[in-house]
Amino acid sequence: MNVKSLIPVSQDRTARRSLSPFMALQQEIDRLFDGFTRGFPTLASSELLPSMDVAETDNEIEVTAELPGLEEKDVQLNVVDNLLTIRGEKKNQREEKDRDYHLIERSYGAFTRTVQLPPGVNADAIKATMAKGVLKVSVPKPAPAQARKIEVKPAA
């Protein structure tokens, strides 16, 4: 019996031998980048997109967003063309101590969330409050459009 036959060979290693040198290089570069970026937050990461609920009552639309660690000064609300945009940024907080070397790091980043509002919303009537990291935005519903009858007159 041959000693080489007792050594397990993964299918991955066999497949690489049959590839061209350029394909093997491409796979190795892909593997390196996948390993390097693992652990970093991505755009789809929940760290950068806060949880948000949108509910509708008879009189208003309620938007609730969880923004732990943020204060009122860190949050910005804008309404343009019936789009409510919530922006915020969590600042980096870092603490170091010289003796026995004590280090504290916190995550940070910026986010933007946008909600489509119904046409006719009065932007001046929107109210926002924030308590314990929870933002609540109340948007009064616009009055329903009333049909107006227009009289047709003969041409002059």
User: What confidence tens digit (pLDDT) does each residue in 118-145 have?
Assistant: 888 888 999 999 999 899 999 998 888 7
Number of domains in the chain: 2
Q: Are residues 9 and 78 located together in one domain of the fold?
A: no
Strand runs labelled E in the chain: 52-56, 60-66, 75-80, 83-90, 94-97, 102-105, 109-116, 127-131, 134-140
Provide the terminal-to-terminal Cα distance of the chain, rounded to the nearest Å. 111
Residues 59 and 26 in one domain: no
Looking at the structure, do residues 74 and 100 belong to the same domain, yes or no?
yes
* Residues 32 and 81 reside in one and the same domain: no
pLDDT digits (tens, 9 = 90+) for 78-116: 999 889 999 998 776 666 666 676 666 666 778 889 999
User: What range defines the domain where residue 70 resides?
Assistant: 52-140
Full-prediction pTM beyond 0.85? Answer: no
In a domain, 46, yes or no: no
